[in-house]
Structure formats: structure tokens, C-alpha cells
Amino acid sequence: MNISKKKIFKFLKSMKFGLILLGILCLVAIIGSVVPQGRQEAFYLNTYSPLLAQLIISFKFNDIYHSSGFILLFIALSFNLILCSTVKLKNIIQKIKKFQLPPNQQQLKNPIYTTKYSSDAKIQHIFTNKGFNNINRISNSSEEIYFSNKNRIGYLGSWLIHIGILAIIICYSYGQYTFWSGSVYGVSGSSQKIEGTNYIMNINDFNIIYRDDGSVQQYITKATLKDKNGNELLSDEIYVNKPMRYEGYTLYQHSTGWAAKINIFKDDKSIGNEFIYDGTAYTNNEEFIIMQINHIYPDFVATKSGFGSKSNELNNPKILYSIFYGGQVVDMNIVSPNEDIHWQNFRFKFNTPEQYTYLSINKMNGKIGAIISSVILMTGLFLTFYLKPKQLIVKRKNDNIYVYGDYSFSSKNIFKSSYGSSNNLSI
């Protein structure tokens, strides 16, 4: 490998390159959190300014976790962290092995403290007083050297931090790449297929609990999840902060609204009936006619500034509708429930509005992996800050005892503060 290739490889495995990639990944994650993902282009064109919408669509910010740029970024960061971790593990193993060897002359140059030798028990106490066990001894004709070490596992702390970060990034990226979201809504007694899955949701009941001041305290949906053959899988209550979970899918109580069932007649003959939700429409392609609910007012009031609702109770329900024929608006008005609407040879009639429940659904993989990765990361942090490797060396020469700390892993002697400022060790 020539010099230029070595430099490139060294940069690819460097912490500097990893931090650059991590910063870009954080920026991408922020964009993915701010910009709603997976919507139709019309959503962005209607929600944002023309320029911003075009930028979102052109750079695939609407599906950022499936973009080639995100995938390349993820692969590059994973490659960098794997290289860093591999090299780091090799160095750590060498440090651990070296840590167990007898002290060299460099470590025996500058003693922290000296004191007089009285007995071997005094040397033993120096070690046990600082929590060192398994004392090793080597001797020659002029001196004896005692040494012990502890917390060797602490060397693995920084390596586990690298592994934990790598695993979290992998789990996060995998979770975002495979993320799925959807929704289901309906009135009490309705049954809806959850699009994109093989499940059916039965809305058994929906209730709203109000506080004394009239504000909403809780939305509660009693629902049953079934498979495509109608077999019951799970039945439970869903409300805010208590979702329904099944096979990786999580169903949240999202919101509510109003819906009304409409009956359509042509020449006094029924041609259809179905629930229309606030803001949606009934479409009959054979007759080229569309009936749309613009808004449902449960307690209608007309003011100078426009239409509104005095409360959320069905005291004076009104429905604002529009009729389209051949793509053109042919009628628009406000009616009461059970009031006939006539247009040419068509007749429409809305039933009394009902509140419907709106459930949002998502599925994100990698959660268990992310939890395990977080445990690895926290373990690494604990080892790094609370189990620092320590070595204590005691040399007896003639009638003197010399105490040394370990210089092999830090230029600063970690025991100096433990022994105080005196040059004489008190036992």
C-alpha cells in the first residue's frame, strides 16, 4: 500500500471522519423529524411554499431514510466505527497484557512517597489500604519489588462506548428504513381494514370523558383487532398514553371528529348509503356525482365573522356540504340532519352526526436492539468513569520503602491525591 492509500485509510478510520459523519447523520435525522415522511407530493405542495416543497421533493426529504444518500452515509459511518473499534480493541488487549507485566525502570524513576521499612505487614497494609489484592513480588540481591493492579476491565470502557454507538446507529437506521405508518378511523360499530396490513379493526365503542369545566379529559376507544379471515387477535381499550400493541404494531389514540351517514336516491330509488367523515366525500362514478362534507357543526351558530360551533354537544347540528357533478360544484348549502337535499332527480339525506375515533398506527423495528445497544453504551461509560485501571508499586531497598503509581496509561499519577501531600506514608 503506497503512502497516499495509507493516508486515505488512516483518515477513513479516524475519529475526525467519524465525527463528521455523525454530525451529518444528526442533521439528516433532524430533517427527517421535521419533514413528515412518506406523504404524497400533493401534501407537500399544499403544506409548504412552492420553492420549499420542490426542494423537499427533489432532494427526497419526504422519504429521507430510503434515499441513496442516507444509505451511503450509514454504510460509511458503520465502516468507520468498525475500523475504529477493531484497531482500538487490539490496542486495549495490548494494554491489558502490558498492565500485568512487572514494572519497568521508567515506572520506578519517581516515587510518590517514601517511608521506613518496619515489617512485611507494613507493605501488605499499603496495598490493602488502597483496595489492592493479589500482590506480586520479584526480588534480587539489592531490592524487592511488590506490585498489584485492579480494574483492568476498565480499559474496555472506551471500546464498549464505540460498540454501543455503532449498534445504536445500526438499530436506528434499520428502524427508520423499515418504519411503517398508517391510520384507521371509524364510528362505533364499524369495521375497517388497516391498509398495508392483513388486519381488520373493529371499533366496538368510542367514548369521550369530559371534565367539569367541559374540557376533554380522555378519548377511549374499545377495539378488536382481527386477522384477514375475521379471527379475533386482540381486544382492548385504547386511549391517550395507553396504545394497543400487537406483533410490532402500535395503535395510538390520535384524535376524533364528526361523521354522518348519507342516503342517496335517484328518482326516489336508493342508489347507495355510507358514512362520510368531516372533510371527505361520497363518490358515485357511475352517476358522475360527488357529495362532500365540508364541515359538521355539532352546535351551530352563525356570526358576523362566519360559521362556528358553541360547544361539542349535538344541540343544534348542521352540515355544510358541496355537490359536484362532472367535476363542477353545482350546489353548496347548510342543512340539518334528516333534511332532504334535492338536486335535479337526486335526493340526499344525512343522518344525525356521530363522533368517530381516529387511530394512528406505526411499526418500527430495532427497538430491542436499541435497548441492548444502550445498555452496552452505559456499561462502557460506567467502566470508563468508575472503574479506571490502577496499579500500585512498592519497592523495598535496604530499610526504605518507595511507593509508585502507574505511569503506563496516564501521564498524571492517579494516586497522588489519594495519599495527600506528605512525603511520609502514614499507616
Total count of residues recorded for the chain = 427
Alpha helices in 135-268 (DSSP H): 157-177
- CB of 210 closer than 8 Å to CB of 217: yes
CB 394 within 8 A of CB 107: no
Q: How far apart are CA 92 and CA 89, in angstroms?
A: 5
Task: Judge whether 358 and 183 are in contact, CB under 8 Å.
Answer: yes
Strands 180-186, 400-405: pairing kind = unpaired
At 3 the pLDDT is 60
pLDDT (tens place) for every residue of the chain, 427 residues total: 556 777 777 787 787 888 888 888 888 888 888 888 777 777 787 778 888 888 888 888 888 888 888 888 888 888 888 888 888 888 888 888 888 788 888 888 888 888 888 888 888 888 888 888 888 999 877 889 999 888 888 989 988 988 998 888 888 888 888 888 888 889 999 998 998 889 999 999 999 888 887 778 889 999 999 999 999 999 999 998 899 999 989 999 988 889 999 999 999 899 888 999 988 899 888 888 999 999 999 999 998 888 999 888 899 999 999 999 988 999 999 999 999 999 999 999 999 999 999 999 989 888 889 899 999 999 999 998 988 888 889 999 888 889 987 543 343 344 444 444 344 444 3
Its pTM stands at 0.61
Three-class SS of residue 253?
strand
Count, in order, helices (H) and strands (E) of the chain: 9, 22
Domain residue spans of the chain: 3-94, 102-151+388-419, 180-363
Give the pLDDT confidence score for residue 18 in this predicted structure: 81
Write out the DSSP string of 397-414: ETTEEEEEE--SS-SS-T
